[in-house]
Amino acid sequence: FRPTEDNNRSSKSPLSRILKKTMNFSRYALAVRLLAGAAAAPLREGESRASHLRAVTVLLKTDDGATPIVASSQEEGYVYCKKGKAYVTSDFTTKTGNSCEDECGGNCCDGDNACNNFSGTVKKDGSCNGMYACQDAGSVGIISGPSCSGDGYACTAASGSNGDITNSCNGYFACAQLKYSGVDGNLDNCCNEDISCHSKTLLEARATCDTANNDKV
């Protein structure tokens, strides 16, 4: 098997060029076959083609057999975090090698200790910004909007929802120590004032929301 312009269009892609530069020919040919197979393989429920290809790519090694070609979750605009470390996909099986803060590149988790020990998915739209924002938070879905941002401590140690937090919890200490109340659910346009929903349960926080946007998940 010899990758050429005719039999492998993926050789023109930036990913293929990186592989070609970092691998000897035999490993490059193997990588192309793996990626071609991944491009045609069925996806798991909820998995995008791009994330599937990145999950395959991150397992490939360079010539020395030790240095991984690290994939990034930044391409889709989300950062998948577990205990403050960034992962390639939302199933948290393969690390990118970066902290969540570094993976955000200043577009989320920006501030002293922001996202430290955080587990969840954050969008690179200004979410989890501010001192201690989202630190020690867990059991949440996607944080976006932006959400969990402010002068400090927004969503710190929040564990109240396995659903999404959207356009919510923006303010000093907003949703800090949000507590799980036995019912999963989303927060949408809630708790956007200083100290709002601090130490509240999810059900109490949802009472401050537009109920049309906050059905149970």
| Helices and strands of the chain, counted as H and E runs | 5, 7
Largest pairwise CA distance in the chain? 63
- Sign of the C-alpha dihedral computed for residues 71, 162, 82 and 98 taken in this order: positive
The pLDDT profile of the chain, 217 residues, written as one tens digit per residue, is: 344 444 444 444 545 554 444 445 545 555 555 555 555 555 555 555 555 555 555 444 444 444 444 444 444 699 999 999 999 988 888 999 999 999 999 999 999 999 999 999 999 999 999 999 999 998 788 999 999 999 999 999 998 666 899 999 999 999 999 987 777 788 999 999 999 999 999 888 988 886 555 543 3
DSSP 152: S
Note the pLDDT of residue 9: 44
Using DSSP bridges, classify how beta strands 165-166 and 142-144 pair: parallel, antiparallel or unpaired.
parallel
Backbone angles phi, psi at 202, to 5 degrees: -60, -45
pTM score: 0.65
Using CB atoms within 10 A of its CB, is residue 86 exposed (0-12), middle (13-18) or buried (19+)?
Answer: buried
Give residues with Cβ within 8 angstroms of 121, minimum separation 6.
78, 79, 80, 81, 90, 141, 142, 143
**Sole residue written with tokens 């791009």:** 50
Note the pLDDT of residue 85: 93
Give residues with Cβ within 8 angstroms of 85, minimum separation 6.
95, 98, 99, 100
Note the pLDDT of residue 185: 81
Note the pLDDT of residue 182: 73
Note the pLDDT of residue 140: 81
